[in-house]
Structure 1
Amino acid sequence: MDNVLNYPTELLLLLFLIITFLQSALDKILDWKGNLSWLKSHFSKTPFKNMVPFLLGTVMVTEIVAGILCTIGLFLLIVQGDGSIALAGAILACLALLMLLLGQRMAKDYDGARTIAIYFMPAVFLVFLLHS
């Protein structure tokens, strides 16, 4: 219980990333065809137009691994006070967000890119906290 009180910000940010990435990955799994169809249209005028299924799969796997690492990291931080797995999850979450940001910028979806930047701020703050 001491670690919950010692790392409240880190734990809350980990929960934020867990919810964000596991829900996003689950949505991609459950509605692969819908996501793929929308993204093919979204990237139709970009250099990514012929790579959409591969890129969607790459982002999905990255989100799953980031969510799992954050989940394991949350428990290890609570139980052992060890934030190393949580840090790996947070870094991977940041990389996933940077992939999404690149996609939005390439598609000239600047509102979407702004949304990704909003998610990036707490993720990179968590990296800072866990690395300190």
Structure 2
Amino acid sequence: MDYSLLIFIQIIIGLFFSILFLQSGLDKVLNYRDNKSYIDSVFEKTFLKSFSPLLFIGILLLETAAGILCSTGSIYYLLTQESIMLVIGLQLSVISLVCLFLGQRIAKDYAGAAGLVPYLILGVFGIYLFGQAG
């Protein structure tokens, strides 16, 4: 594969996840009450009910960190060819998706969980591309 094409694909995947998680994190901050109420209702009938406030803050921080690292990492990688920040951002993205997937499965939102699978595949593929480049 042409090295410049590989870099382009890696950066596009990073930018995709930066948009995904920065928007999601920002939405959770700007619409905190509505989002927290939604999370509380999702876990209302599960063993995670009492942990839902902590889970909400945790996923907010994880998503926001993933988005920030993917966005700054994409730009930094484009300018310097140093990929560590972007790789960590992609790894946090995948961890965020696995956490969301687990929560949706526990809440029995099987359709929502299934909807995360393409994102997870893309994130793992992005990480894989960095392994192949080095």
TM-score by length of 1: 0.93
CA distance in 1, matches of 2:101, 2:25: 16
> After TM superposition, what 4+ stretches of structure 1 lie above 6 angstroms from structure 2?
none
CA distance in 2, matches of 1:20, 1:77: 19
Deviation at 1:126, TM superposition (A): 0.6
Hey, what does 1:129 align to over in structure 2? 129
Deviation at 1:131, TM superposition (A): 2.3
C-alpha contact 1:4 1:11 (8 A) present in aligned 2 = no
Residue identity over aligned pairs, in percent, reads 35
SS of alignment partner, residue 45 of structure 2? coil
TM-score by length of 2: 0.92
Alignment deviations for residues 60-101 of structure 1 (CA, whole Å, 9 cap, x no partner): 000111111111211121111111111010001000000000
Alignment-mate amino acid for residue 69 of structure 2: L
The gaps in structure 2 that reach 5 residues or longer are: none
Distance 1:112 1:6, change over 3 A: closer
Hey, what does 1:22 align to over in structure 2? 22
Aligned-CA RMSD value: 1.3
Alignment-mate amino acid for residue 86 of structure 2: A
CA distance in 2, matches of 1:4, 1:66: 24
